[in-house]
A and B are shown apart, each in its own frame.
Chain A
Amino acid sequence: MTMLELYGRSFENRMLLGTARYPSPSKLAEAVQASNTEIVTVSLRREAGGSHAGEKFWNLIKSLNVTILPNTAGCYSAREAVTTAQMARECFQTDWIKLEVIGDSESLHPDTAGLVEAARILDAEGFRVFPYTTEDLVVAEKLLHAGCEVLMPWGAPIGTARGLNNEYGLRALRSRFDTIPIIVDAGIGLPSHAARAMELGSDAVLLNTAVARAEDPARMAEAFAEGIRAGRNAYLAGPMQPSDMPRTSTSLIDKADLRE
């Protein structure tokens, strides 16, 4: 099966997992193992303290032996996001950054203007940017111009568990940028949502709360991994098209004629 390619690195698993809001670090580790997740996102902001204060938690994440994708969650301006990205690079020794610039504190809607601006600055500084955006085609175009080689459109607003709010938009994004990896990020509540995102041809899915706040996070993580695998396979297998006419799936030739 083809691998997921992100900035020159290959991954087998197409699920990315966030590390916030688990009942405990142990539950987080179990969820990562149960789903064979290879990439986790980590928020730097809240944990940032002076002199190695957050070291224990970071070491724990590092010990999971997964690729770390730091994020700029909770940043409200391009400048703030850039500073956070620089801190993350130092802390996690990676130039990967999931860029979030939030425009509204209630709806957590991305500030797409600030996002493009921050992406440009970070790209110039050598970062590999994973921008959290909407399904807007023009914004996506500008992000690619800014140097991004991945797009992360939302399914629905962060933490809402509403699934894919705009399938048409995601499909349009897929067909316009058919060579750019698309990772659907945010708003995923159920494995069926994740499977659907993959059936549309997305390359991967990133989720957090749906696993972290499940009663059994490890089991839910496994369920998501299965959903994502199923969706990917369905996409590669070439699904049949819906039709208005019922069609029998069994050949009728051999059916006994009982009329006589």
Chain B
Amino acid sequence: MSEVAIIGAGVAGLTCACELLDRGIGISIYEQAGKLGEGSCSWFAGGMLAPYCERDTAEHEVMQRGLLAARWWQKHVTGVTQKGSLVLALPRDRNELERLSRLGKQCRWIETPEILEIEPGLADFSGPGLLFPDEAHLNPRNALQDLANYLKMREVSIRFGQAVRPEDLDAKTVLDCRGHHSHDVLPGLRGVKGEMMILQTEDISLTRPVRLLHPRQPIYIVPRDDHQFMLGATLIESSERARFSVRSMLDLLHSAILLSSSFGEAEIIESGVDVRPAFNDNIPRLYRKDNVIFVNGLYRHGFLLGPALAIQAADAVINPDQWEELPQCA
């Protein structure tokens, strides 16, 4: 019997697993799917470690708790790139950037000639921007694999194909990290649908995530290896895990082409849909019930806030005082 059993090998479960191992606590980890990433919304994430840019839509607390993310990931996985983020807007939407610069703070204004200098791929974009120099990004799929390897090197292997529930497990503490799959036990949890695509083209290269603050369909494009680009993502109040709508695809692609017409010739190599688990304030938190801690509500911030939430979960596992302070799950 291991000290802690973790259910779910998405970003929440894996960050908790690593954090507990780092503190010398024995764990076992169970995943319902047959392989890594399957059935997990982390698989479709953008992988931006961008606490300041997120202020566009997220609260101050998200920024605060996301500040440690880049360092945590650098310690546990390879391929964390820290070249900042670039946020752009059409000239008419300059007010959107002004708002973000006031909220996000750690940025400076950047105009067309300099934008071209740092991102020559954006040659046909003309508009103001903000550069957030300290932000980072990673490829979520590689990062999840790296975390799985990190566990393996410490002799923990993920038990795939195990659809277990907390009450099935014989462990001192159980961490329920099943994301939206836990909605039946966490009444406050809702699903927020997201649609994303992966494009491939050799006609453009980018060195950092680029966001476009379009008032109707804001997008981000995150460069990945092999001339691939992750294009995301819609935010729809729905728990539907399928059905990429024509309208969403049109909006996302329209915004992508506004950034660079080169995306017009790109190949669409993947389109993905899933739901993010969120509480009503869109802020992740822990709940406890008997010997179970629910680690949930990461919303669109799995990679940004996963580390902070894992640290909090590990603290609660170790320290009975913090355990007592966790809100009880209904």
Listed in ascending order, the chain A residues whose CB lies under 8 Å from chain B are 23-27, 29, 46-50, 53-57, 60, 159, 213, 215
Contacts and interface: CB of A to CB of B under 8 A. Distances in A.
B105 to A, nearest CB: 12
A96 to B, nearest CB: 20
Given A56-B191, A57-B237, A60-B280, A23 B243 contact: no
Given A26-B282, A215-B102, 6 more contacts: A29-B280, A46-B236, A49-B236, A49-B238, A49-B239, A60-B280
Main SS at interface, chain A: loop
Nearest to B62: A23
A56 B57 contact: no
Contacts of A26: 280-282
B203 interface: no
Interface in B223-251: 236-240, 243
Most chain A CB within 10 A, of B238, B239, B243, is at B238
B283 A54 contact: no
Interface string B240-283: 10010000000000000000000000000000000000101111
Contacts of A27: 59, 281
B59 A47 contact: no
B68 to A, nearest CB: 22
A38 to B, nearest CB: 21
A128 to B, nearest CB: 25
A215 B98 CA distance: 13
A25 B58 contact: no
B99 interface: yes
What does DSSP make chain B's interface, helix, strand, loop or mixed?
loop
A47 B280 contact: no
Contact of B240 (A23, A29, A50): A50
A55 B283 CA distance: 20
Contacts of A25: 190, 280-282
A122 B249 CA distance: 30
B24 interface: no
Contact of A49 (B59, B99, B243): B243
Nearest to B190: A56
Contacts of A159: 215
A24 B190 contact: no
A23 B58 contact: yes
Contacts of A57: 190, 237-238
A53 B238 contact: yes
Given A56-B191, A57-B190, A215-B103, A47 B238 contact: yes
Interface residues of B, number: 21
A47 B234 CA distance: 11
Given A49-B243, A57-B190, A215-B103, A24 B238 contact: no
A247 B275 CA distance: 66
Contacts of A213: 99
16 contacts: A23-B58, A23-B59, A24-B278, A24-B280, A24-B283, A25-B282, A29-B280, A46-B236, A46-B237, A47-B236, A53-B193, A54-B238, A57-B238, A60-B280, A213-B99, A215-B103
Contacts of A24: 59, 278, 280-283
Nearest to B57: A23
A159 B213 CA distance: 14
A225 to B, nearest CB: 22
Contacts of B102: 215
A172 to B, nearest CB: 30
- Residue with the highest number of chain B CB atoms closer than 10 Å, among A29, A47, A56: A56
A53 B240 contact: yes
B13 to A, nearest CB: 23
Contacts of B191: 53, 56
A56 B276 CA distance: 13
A23 B236 contact: no
- Among all A-B residue pairs, the 6 with the closest Cβ atoms: A56-B190, A57-B237, A53-B240, A24-B282, A26-B281, A49-B240
A24 B243 CA distance: 24
A163 to B, nearest CB: 14
B282 A23 contact: yes
Contacts of A29: 280
A68 B99 CA distance: 30
B308 to A, nearest CB: 18
Interface in B96-135: 99, 102-103
Contacts of A215: 102-103
B253 to A, nearest CB: 15
A23 B193 CA distance: 16
Given A24-B59, A54-B238, A56-B239, A49 B193 contact: yes
Contacts of A54: 237-239
Nearest to B282: A24
B189 to A, nearest CB: 8
A23 B63 CA distance: 13
